Amino acid sequence: MTARLPGKRKTAALVDPKPPGPPPEPGLPPEKAIKPTPGPAGRDDQTFLYIDADYDHRPATEGGFAKMHMTPDVEPQGKSESRPTTRDVARLANVSLGTVSRVLNGASNVSEELKQRVTDAIEQLDFVPHALAQGLRRKSTRTIACIVSNISFPLFSRHVAGVEKVLRNLRYSLLLMNTHADRAAELEAYAFVDKQRIDGVITGLTNEKDSILLSRLADTKIPCVLLERDVEGFERVLADHCSGVAKAASHLIGLGHRKISLITVTTNNWPGRERYRGIEAAYAAANLPFPEELMHTSGSTAEYGYYAANQMLMARSRPTALIVGANQLIGVIRAVKFAGLRIPEDISLVCLGNTEFGEVFSPPITEVSWNAEMLGEMAANIILARLSEEASSDLRRLVLPTELVLRGSCAPSREA
């Protein structure tokens, strides 16, 4: 049983499970503290977390997941400090259990007088209904799963913020799953969604070319929206990376740059593939030879950004401009500083994705920008429309435009 703390609802935060678990909550006796159950060996690299619109929850690990805990309506006998149940509400309101159930489920066949008595009893007892049990009775848990590969990436965090904003306004819960870009963990996440009877899932596949992942996701038989992944047979929301990178590369070409490097994620997925296509299009439009040796599309971390940039900047013929993903940006800047180069005097820089760091860096960094939070909102609205049967049978593919925001990190090439 999980103790419910008084006061305002807390905002849940994603945490990695670490044995032996968190200390007792302040002010709670040891028997009321959360007691995590260690997951099976090798599965402590994955975290699942509920963010609920109505109730306070605390994460606890089970099988490597962090799950929402809710106290059942019927407490085990012998507990001296049990939470109120529907039986307590019925007893105080002097009504049947069926009447309490109908009021909780919003049934219309209850008189105003009985409804008021039940409502008063609920308030007096501070009763919290068992949301999961209610959902199973209705064949809906009012929970949407959002599966991401790395929640620490700023753009992914904004996707989730957009999803949560829409769900919270409509009193849905969000189940956040962080797979750490691990294929086995992602397959396990889809199995978990099936088992828990989640209403819908929003996911950014680790690899949209992986037929096993796609098959397993299709087998869930619940509404699904792909986030920044473009696969036929699924609804998806995307940013127009091709157009954004083409604008950035054309701007740099206009400043005299001919050796422009692209450092981004794998071309197996939509963002990397479209960014590569965009820089190719810019070179083709300018009738310039394409420097394929300066394209690095194999990693999504700051470490990869450092490795790729450092490798090129240490070469005799180095690039004069860099277009880099937001996740790789910090690593790229470290490599630039290590090489003793200045931005933009010695090398120009464009970031793909708006980051607060890019705005406060000196000089502020030119970026290809799009509203990542809105992508999450779009995905959530598609899911909810599908659940409400307001959606058409046609699968939607929505593309959000990007724009080039000029700041101070680009200058004419010295080789022009």
Residues 259, 216, single domain; the answer is no
| Same domain assignment for residues 175 and 297 | no
Question: Each residue of 347-363: pLDDT tens digit?
Answer: 999 999 988 899 999 99
List, in sequence order, every beta strand (DSSP E) within 111-233: 143-148, 173-178, 200-203, 224-227
Residues 283 and 264 in one domain: yes
Q: What is the tally of structural domains in the chain?
A: 3
pLDDT of residue 397: 93
What H or E segment, with its residue span, contains residue 377?
A: helix 372-387
Domain check: are 250 and 348 in the same one? yes
Which amino acid makes up residue 317? S
Instruction: Say whether pLDDT at 206 is over 60.
Output: yes
In a domain, residue 3? The reply is: no
Is residue 271 reached through a cis peptide bond, with omega within 30 degrees of 0 on the bond before it?
no
CA–centroid distance for 406 within its chain: 28
Say if 308 falls within a structural domain: yes
DSSP 83: P
Which pTM value belongs to this model?
A: 0.69
- Residue with more model confidence, 6 or 413: 413
Partners of 396 in beta bridges: none
Dump pLDDT digits (tens) for 189-198: 999 988 887 8
Neighbour order of strands in the sheet with 224-227: 47-51, 173-178, 143-148, 200-203, 224-227, 235-239, 397-400
- Residues 39 and 63 sit within 8 Å (Cβ to Cβ): yes
One domain, residues 122 and 246: no
The domain in which residue 251 lies consists of: 241-371
86: left (phi over 0), alpha (psi -120 to 50) or beta: alpha
Residue 16 lies in a domain: no
| Average pLDDT over every residue of 284-305 | 95
If phi over 0 gives left and psi between -120 and 50 gives alpha, with beta otherwise, what is residue 373? alpha
Residue 416: pLDDT band with limits 50, 70, 90: low
Question: Mean of the per-residue pLDDT values for the chain?
Answer: 81
292 burial class (0-12, 13-18, 19+ CB within 10 angstroms)? exposed
Q: Choose the final residue of a domain: 152, 187, 222.
A: 222
Are 58 and 95 part of one and the same domain? no
My answer on whether omega of the bond before 40 falls inside 30° of 0, hence cis, is: no
Instruction: Report the distance separating Cα 372 and Cα 351, nearest Å.
Output: 14
Q: Residue 137 is which amino acid?
A: R
Whether 255 and 327 share a structural domain: yes
- The tokens for 359 are 């705005």
pLDDT digit string, tens, across residues 93-141: 999 888 888 887 667 788 888 889 988 888 888 876 655 455 444 567 7
As a whole number, mean pLDDT of residues 145-157 equals 91
In a domain, 80, yes or no: no
Region 368-381: mean pLDDT is: 96
Give the pLDDT band (50/70/90) at residue 220. Answer: confident
CA neighbor of 262 nearest in space, from 253, 250, 249, 251: 249
pLDDT of residue 196: 82
Tokens for 91, please give them. 């007893």
Please tell me whether residues 203 and 325 are part of one structural domain. no
Residue predicted with more confidence, 104 or 177: 177
Residues paired with residue 263 on neighbouring β-strands, in sequence order: 296, 324
* Co-location of 173 and 307 in the same domain: no
Residues 254, 347 share a domain: yes
